Structure formats: C-alpha cells, structure tokens
Copies of this chain bind each other. A is one copy, B any other.
Amino acid sequence: MLQHPPAEPGMREEDVETPALLLDLDAFEHNLDLMASLLAPTGAKLRAHAKTHKSAVVAHQQMRRGAIGQCVQKVGEAEMLAWGGIPDILVSNEVVGPKKLARLAALAKIAKVAVCIDDESQVAACAAAAEAAGIRLTVLVEIDVGAARCGVPPGPPAVALAEKIAASKHLIFGGLQAYHGSAQHKRAPEQRATVIAEAAEMCRRTVEQLRQRGLDCPIVGGGGTGTFLHEAGSGIYNEIQAGSYAFMDADYARNQDAPPFQQSLFVLGTVMSRSIAGVAVLDAGHKAVAVDSGLPLVWQRPGLVCTSFSDEHGKLEVRDGATPALGEKLRLVPGHCDPTVDRYDWYVGVRKGRVECVWPIGGRGAMA
C-alpha cells in the first residue's frame, strides 16, 4: 500500500510525521551543481544512477544540469523513468527472462533504452524481444573490470559478444558497461586511483580491439561516487554512472579525500522512549534506515551514538548528559543511501527548517 505523505509544504521540520525521509534541498542542489562543474572540464557526461533516487523528479533535476540520461538496474525502474518523461535510459545490468525483456522493448517506443548482457544466449533473447516489439534494441556488453560479479572478461570475449550483437538485425551494439562496484568504498584515494587505472586500461584495450574489428563503441560507462573523477579523467570512459553523490551517506563519508559533496539525505525520527538510563530510543529501526553498510549517525548531536537497530527501534547511547526530550525529532545520516530511499514512498524536501516540497519515490520497491 502507498503510504500517506508525512508532511505538507509550509510545515516546520519538527512537525513532520516520523519516520520520514528528509532531503535538505540546499545540500542536494549543491551536490548536483558540484557534480556538473566537476565533470564539465573532463568531457565525460553524467548518466546519473536512478537506483539511488528512484524518482523521476530527481532525474529531471539532474538532466537540467547537463546529465545526458539515467542508469537503472531494473526494468521497473526504467518504466518509472520513461513514464515520467526521461528520454534516455540505460539498464546498466543484465535483464534475464522474456517478460522483462518484452517490457523493456515496449519502452523503446517512448524513450531511448539500452540494456547490458554478459552471456551469448542473451543475444537471441534480446533480439526476440526487439523483433516482437518492432524496434531495434541497443545492447551493451558488460565487462568485468575487477569487481568479479557480472561481466565477460575484457578483450577478445567482449569483442566476440559485441560482434554477435552487431550481427543481429534487431539489435544495435551500444558499447561497454565497465562499472567497478567494489572500488567505490576503498578508503585510500591512491587505492581507488590504482584500481580504476587498471579498469580504464582494460576498457582501452577492448575498445581498440573492437575498432580493429570495425566496431565503434559509443558508450564506455562506469564510475560511481567514490571513483568517478578517475573514470572521467581517463580519456576512455565517456559516461559516468554516479548516483549517491546527490545524497551521500555515512559509508561514503568514510572515504578519504573525496569531493566535497554534502549530506543531503536524512531519516527523521522521534524519541519514543528514554526510560533506561543512558539510552534513548527512536521510532526508526532498520525497517526505516538501511544498516547493510553500518549503523546511521545522529546528525549534529555529538552526545548521541547509535548502538543497535532492531526492526522498529533505533537505540542510542546518551553521552555527556545529552539526553534528548521525549518527542524530540532527530536527523539520522543513513549508513547507505540507496536501500534507505527504497523503503519510502515520499521525499520531504526541507530548506531552512521548513518543508518546501513532497516528492513521490515512484520506483520504491521496483525490483523486477
């Protein structure tokens, strides 16, 4: 069931019903502007990742600042964006199964869509979906540049798969998907630089081999919030797929020497109990804020530390007499922004203590 919006424009932040997903609009807009200005001199374009924000409202603001399109991981996310007017969408992931491919191909009538493969059998599957829909589908080859999750090896296996795509009259070879997920959270900047230099070299070699076989490579895509300056500066990646930069989280904040994106995403919780000495309990547990990348932080309240989160309770340790009032509202910085957003139906946009907007998260739960 869709949940009611927890706020209305004009309301004070402390009157927002909790738990709620807050977006600090000043910080959010700063982040979008900063990304645009960082990428401008590199020549690489932003194809922002909607797996983070799950919202056409956010996507349009990224597009207005120069993003050339959006990435998604799921067909349901692509549908949400296409229905919301986003004209260029890459599923930066494999889509397996005829029904999902049919849904994706159907979108090609209203938006430019593309998808990735890493298995030869998917060439025929994509071609069948494209033929049935009466469209030509753009297909990228995902290569494994070190994350060891999905993707064929760079070089000859990637070229062989690209040739099979190009040989289908129902498909268009769209380029290489070369995202290195596990590099994003390496803490030391030199580690991130080294790993992405290797990934870029794998891309360069593969693009050269494609060219030798007469295949142009329109997209070389990758790069997340932790590493994108390296991909953008590589001279070979031409599309950056960062998503978290718009919101940030406690885990990205642990990266050293990162660009100065600001924390814009918060979960607002209410103190619902303080009966136990040295403890305060929030009405936001891990159903309300993702804990897969660690516990949240309490924003600008140094005496309050998250110690354990259960389904509906966030337990805080109270230090130095910093006991909050019963009913007091506190901002939490999520450990991980993407899965936190995915638990909510609404963003509550706030500026200078007031609710300015309430935006739907149309892709909430779009897993298929």
CB pair A1–B96 under 8 Å, yes or no, is no
Consensus secondary structure, chain A interface = loop
From A99, A326, A362, residue with most partner B Cβ within 10 Å: A326
**CB neighbours of A122 from chain B (8 A):** 326
> Least Cβ distance of A325 to chain B in Å?
10
Tell me the residues in window 196-247 of chain A with beta carbons closer than 8 Å to chain B beta carbons.
none
* Nearest B residue to A72, CB-CB: B312
User: CB-nearest residue of chain B relative to A344?
Assistant: B365
**Cα distance A342–B311 when bound, in Å?**
10
Q: Is the CB of B3 within 8 A of A97?
A: no
A366 CA to B1 CA in the complex, in Å? Answer: 8
Partner of A312, one of B74, B272, B274, B275: B74
Given contacts A365-B3, A367-B287, whether A272 and B96 have CB atoms under 8 Å apart is: yes
In the assembly, what is the distance between CA of A96 and CA of B313, in Å?
13
Please give the distance in Å from A1's CB to the nearest CB on chain B. 5
Q: Is A257 in contact with chain B by the CB < 8 A criterion?
A: no
Check: A26 CB closer than 8 A to any chain B CB.
Answer: no
B-contact 0/1 string along A327-368, CB 8 Å cutoff: 100000000001100111100000000000000111111111
Once the chains bind, are A311 and B327 in contact (CB under 8 Å)? no
Q: Which residues of B contact A291 (CB under 8 A)?
A: 292
Cβ of A300 under 8 Å from chain B: no
| B151, A312: Cβ atoms closer than 8 Å | no
Q: Please report the C-alpha to C-alpha distance between residue A144 and residue B274 in the assembled complex, in whole angstroms.
A: 12
Please tell me if the beta carbons of B338 and A311 are within 8 angstroms of each other in the complex. yes
Chain B residues with Cβ below 8 Å from A273 are 94, 118-119, 149-151
Instruction: Please state if A144 and B276 are interface contacts (CB–CB under 8 Å).
Output: yes
Known contacts A181-B310, A287-B367: does B275 contact A152 (CB below 8 Å)?
yes
Closest chain B residue, CB of each to CB of A341:
B287
A269-286 at interface with B (beta carbon < 8 Å): 270-276, 279, 281, 283-284, 286
The interface residues of chain B lying within 8 Å CB-to-CB of A97 are 17-18, 270, 327
Convert A98-134 into 0s and 1s, putting 1 for each residue whose CB lies closer than 8 angstroms to a CB of B.
0110000000000000000011011000000000000
A73 part of interface (Cβ distance < 8 Å): yes
Bound-state CA distance A365–B364 (Å) is 10
Chain B nearest Cβ from A67, distance in angstroms: 20
Contact at A363–B276, with CB atoms within 8 Å?
no
Residues of B within 8 A of A279 (CB): 148-149
Contact, CB under 8 Å: A96 / B364: no
Complex: chain B residue closest to A116, CB-CB: B273
Complex formed: what's the CA distance from A326 to B97 in Å?
Answer: 9
Task: Say whether A296 faces chain B, with CB atoms less than 8 Å apart.
Answer: no
A residues 258-274 near B (Cβ < 8 Å) are: 270-274
Nearest neighbor of A21 in chain B, beta-carbon distance: B367
A80 part of interface (Cβ distance < 8 Å): yes
Q: Which residues of B contact A327 (CB under 8 A)?
A: 96-97
Contact of A288 with B by CB under 8 A: yes
Bound-complex Cα distance A339 to B272 (A): 20
- Listed in ascending order, the chain A residues whose CB lies under 8 Å from chain B are 1-3, 6, 17-20, 51, 73-74, 76, 80, 93-97, 99-100, 118-119, 121-122, 144, 148-152, 181, 270-276, 279, 281, 283-284, 286-288, 290-292, 309-313, 315, 326-327, 338-339, 342-345, 360-368
Query: What are the nearest 4 A-B pairs in CB distance?
Result: A150-B273, A73-B312, A118-B275, A96-B272
